[in-house]
Structure 1
Amino acid sequence: MRFFKIWPFVPTVLVFLVIAYLSLAEDPVHAEEIHLFEGADKVVHGCMYLGLVVVGCYDLYRLGFGFTPGRLVAWLLVAIAWGGLMELLQGAMTAGRSADWFDFLANSCGALLGLLLGAWCLPRLFRRYRGTRLFHVVDDFR
């Protein structure tokens, strides 16, 4: 747990790296072999950025920065900019991948939903479980 005290944003950075790999690799999970419904990739894009923003909100809250409107908007803009950068890099670098405005829209919607979920749920969860064993495990990260 000391690792997270030294470098507190490690979980968020790891999610950034996973998203970069999944966005820029040619076919990282062999998605061509999986036949889902039309637009399933948009749901996946939304879920990735929802996860990114929730983990980032967790790191902010865990470190005691609090959720001011300015911090939340800044974090949302960082996530949306990362989504835009990944789409631009997909169009410029990778073979077999292309930039898509609807993917960018799905990234942005997922980030917005993640911000609302993270900013609303995390403080309530921390307050609810304060003093329990679960909170002490989370508190060890501080």
Structure 2
Amino acid sequence: MNTTLKYYGSAILWALFILIICAVPLHDADKSGMFFPGFDKLVHCGLFFVLSVLYCVGSIRKWNTHNIRIEIAMKNTVVLISYGALIEVLQMRVFTWRSGDWNDLLADTIGACMGIFAVLLTSNAIHHEKS
């Protein structure tokens, strides 16, 4: 457990933050003039982008590599999409004041894939620059 927290502590904290944000009742916040149509999807995408970057950095540190291997990236993608699906199911079944939306899961998936791609691109660029 200590090694998991050592490498993935920030990702776990961010995942808990996402869970709390997705469990909070919004009432009519989405109908106020502060938000535009699709703002919710943008937030989901951004939250999962950050989560995937933190999770990938934890994986890089855990496996002591300079960049993320493709099999680790694929595993991380499955884990992140599963977490997004879990949140949507919880919103449908447990947090009944929220509505589970499969378009939110799509936004989560896009954000996770964007974050993993960003880590792949950045770590390869840094590794290439050093060599």
TM-score category by the smaller chain? 0.7 to 0.9
* Identical-pair percentage: 24
Alignment of 1:70-89 (within 5 A): 70-89=71-90
List alignment gaps of at least 5 residues for structure 1.
130-142
1:103-130 alpha-carbon deviations (Å, 9 max, x no partner): 111111111111101121145357769x
CA contact (8 A) 2:68 2:119 kept: no
Q: 2:92 maps to which residue?
A: 91
1:17-57 alpha-carbon deviations (Å, 9 max, x no partner): 11111111223xx6555622111100100001111001111
List alignment gaps of at least 5 residues for structure 2.
none
- CA distance in 2: counterparts of 1:32 and 1:23, whole angstroms: 17
Task: Flag the 1:5–1:92 CA change in 2: closer, same or farther, 3 A.
Answer: closer
With normalisation by structure 2, the TM-score equals 0.82
CA contact (8 A) 2:77 2:112 kept: yes
Cα offset, 1:7, TM superposition? 2.2
Alpha-carbon RMSD across the aligned residues, in angstroms, is 2.8
Task: Flag the 1:6–1:114 CA change in 2: closer, same or farther, 3 A.
Answer: closer
Alignment of 1:6-85 (within 5 A): 7-27=6-26, 33=32, 35-63=34-62, 64-65=64-65, 66-85=67-86
- CA distance in 2: counterparts of 1:26 and 1:124, whole angstroms: 42
With normalisation by structure 1, the TM-score equals 0.76
Q: Which amino acid aligns with 2:16?
A: L
Cα offset, 1:12, TM superposition? 0.9
Runs of 4+ residues over 3 Å off in structure 1: 3-6, 30-34, 122-129
